[in-house]
Amino acid sequence: MSRGQLWTARVMATLAVLFLTFDATIHTLDLQVVKDASVQLGLPEGLMVQMGILEAILIVLYLVPRTAILGAVLWTGYLGGAILTNLRVGLPLFSHVLFPTYIAALLWIPLWIREPRLRALLPFRKV
């Protein structure tokens, strides 16, 4: 892995983790703005704190090198639910519905860059 690839992976993963940490924090703090957004999305207000706790657990799984791939898989499922929720209420495609896809890419690409096991499993090169 080149120095440039290493720093690209670090920057991408840091952006994803910072956003997800912010999201977990505002869910866990049970802020009114989060409650209002949950009602707009058709989700129970009381679910937000549990979602924040789940997000925090997934962040830890992603940050621990031994469980990073498991964390990314679980994040992918969680973010898939976010896509469906945003799609269901008719939010704009590129700014809202696909935003979880952008976060997932920021989680997976760094893993692919730094994890030889993942590159062996998903070889994106000519064979």
Q: Which residues of 45-72 are buried (b: 16+ CB within 10 A; e: fewer)?
A: eeebeebbebbbebbebbeeeeebbebb
Give the per-residue pLDDT at 117. 86
Tell me the average pLDDT of the chain: 94
The mean pLDDT of 50-71, rounded to a whole number, is 97
Residue 100 predicted with pLDDT over 90: yes
What does the alpha-carbon distance between residue 62 and residue 71 come to, in Å, rounded to a whole number? 4
The whole model's pTM is what? 0.91
Distance CA 38, CA 66 (A): 33
Position 94, amino acid: F
CB of 113 closer than 8 Å to CB of 9 = yes
Q: Per-residue pLDDT tens for 3-44?
A: 999 999 999 999 999 999 999 999 999 899 999 999 999 999
pLDDT digits (tens, 9 = 90+) for 61-87: 999 999 999 999 999 999 999 999 999
**pLDDT score of 77:** 98
Q: How far apart are CA 12 and CA 71, in angstroms?
A: 16
- Other Cβ atoms closer than 10 A to 23: 18
